[in-house]
Amino acid sequence: MNKDGRYIRCPECGEKTDVKVYEDTTLLHFPLVCPHCKKEFIINVIQFKMTVDKEIDN
């Protein structure tokens, strides 16, 4: 079975983050911190489809 993971891209700057997901990975209300622009988001990922719950202002 071919299992290729993908790195989640930052919704703000579009760069790859350190978070890797697979097709069967489900993230709900996951705190994503971008290592490039340092923005923090609460995201959901279901089958590579990401939605942003909210953006956190630090």
In angstroms, what is the minimal distance from the CB of 42 to Zn ion? 14
> Contact between 12 and Zn ion (CB under 5 A)?
yes
Task: Supply the DSSP string of 20-37, one letter for each residue.
Answer: EE-TT-EEEEEEEE-TTT
> Contact between 19 and Zn ion (CB under 5 A)?
no
C-beta separation of 32 from 7 below 8 A = no
In this structure, how many other beta carbons lie within 10 angstroms of the beta carbon of residue 43? 22
Span near Zn ion by CB under 5 A; candidates 6-14, 23-31, 40-48, 49-57: 6-14
The residues that touch Zn ion, with contacts defined as CB under 5 A, are 10, 12-13, 34, 36-37
